[in-house]
Amino acid sequence: MKEERSLSLLQLMVNEGLVPSPEEEENRKTFIEKLKQIVVAWVKRVAWQRPLPKQDIAVSSATLLTYGSYGLGVHGSESDIDALCVGPYFATMDDFFIVLYNMLKSRPEVSEIYCVKDVKVPLMRFVFDGILIDLPFVQLKVLVVPENLDILNPVFLRDIDETGWKSLSRVLANTQICRLVPDLKKFQSMLRCVKFWAKRRGVYGNDLLKFDFDWHNVLEPFPYTKKYAWFLKIFLSASKQDELGDWVGWIKSRFCCLLFKLEEVQGLCDPNPTEYIDVNIADPHVIFYWGLQAGKTNAIDIKSVKDVFWRNISTGYQGPFGKIELSIVKASQVPKSAQFDTLSQKRKKACWKMMDYHQRRIPIYLQHVPQYIVGYVSTNGDPEYPSAGV
């Protein structure tokens, strides 16, 4: 089931042009190499115009660093390319806008070239082999700019002027992101999906500057109780408040096993990650509601699902075991406090993640927007507010 979802997602991305074909990808790599060769030839030409020793001219070099969607590896078949021209200490902005400009303009594969100078990040914009290019420039205080430049190396970041830092900022951000994310391929897939969603929803790019744009349409909670007629209710409880956090954390770490089992016997299952509490229940607890595919709920053997999941969670847990109850409920049976239909409804939303399970808490609702919880009051009467996720 997991492999099928991955394949269907990949196919969707290919069909929508979110992923370039192998041929398109190879063409872009060839294109980048061709542009790099032009930049290196430009630096050699500028070096000959300077009173530099021949040995310095021989080793002088420049390179290109891509950023934006191409640098992050999430470009599509029709994406443009953002690339930074990185030159040595003797190549100036004038050399960039005059010498390199003339070299590019004379190339048969280059068209629609012009300079954008009076901006925070000066750049050249042109079409190269049918691909739109934005090309800013930064000067490093070195003679040799390695082709595989490590832009995070402080040796290359000395004495850069303000304009240079602005040109470098996006490359530095891209590089840091690619190094810090724990799984780059998963991050790239997620980012492609977010970009696709934003384009479909009309919030991609700059269409946000419209005076009549309504953010509520973008941030509208997902209408689970309108989308699904049936739900899996997951009720987790513990005998003591200070045991609930560990028990819930352990169960959540095993949710993927429950999801796979449900999809095996039921089909589509949409896990809502929000945790809810029922103020009418005294025991420490949290509740989850997962949307279920219509038409198959009557065939679910919920006892067998629970038995399989219980065997999974009973191995390896070191703390006191709490309780878990799985049941199938209709949308009409979902409490109003757990319904996300429209912002106009009077509903109450528990925080996205309870910050501390080790104390009994009473929810505090926002005075002017009573459907939102802003924090909890502990049993000693002191208010405690979650730092995120409300």
Both ends of the chain: CA-CA distance in Å?
33
Place of tokens 């038995």: 307
Q: Which of 36, 77, 80, 252 is the catalytic position? A: 80
Task: Verify whether residue 195 is a known catalytic residue.
Answer: yes
Side-by-side strand order, sheet with 383-384? 361-365, 373-378, 383-384
Q: Which of 36, 77, 101, 134 is the catalytic position? A: 134
Give the number of other Cβ atoms within 10 Å of residue 96's Cβ.
24
Place of tokens 């996205």: 352
Q: Which of 60, 61, 67, 69 is the catalytic position? A: 69
Task: Verify whether residue 242 is a known catalytic residue.
Answer: no
Q: Which of 70, 79, 82, 261 is the catalytic position? A: 82
**Rounded distance between C-alpha atoms, residue 125 and residue 165, angstroms:** 20
Place of tokens 């002088």: 60
Q: Which of 166, 195, 199, 240 is the catalytic position? A: 195
Task: Verify whether residue 95 is a known catalytic residue.
Answer: no
Q: Which of 101, 204, 317, 365 is the catalytic position? A: 204
Task: Verify whether residue 82 is a known catalytic residue.
Answer: yes
Task: Verify whether residue 134 is a known catalytic residue.
Answer: yes
**Rounded distance between C-alpha atoms, residue 262 and residue 5, angstroms:** 14
**Rounded distance between C-alpha atoms, residue 287 and residue 271, angstroms:** 12
Contacts with 346 (C-beta within 8 Å, 6 or more apart), sequence order: 336, 370, 371
Instruction: List residues with catalytic annotation.
Output: 69, 80, 82, 134, 195, 204
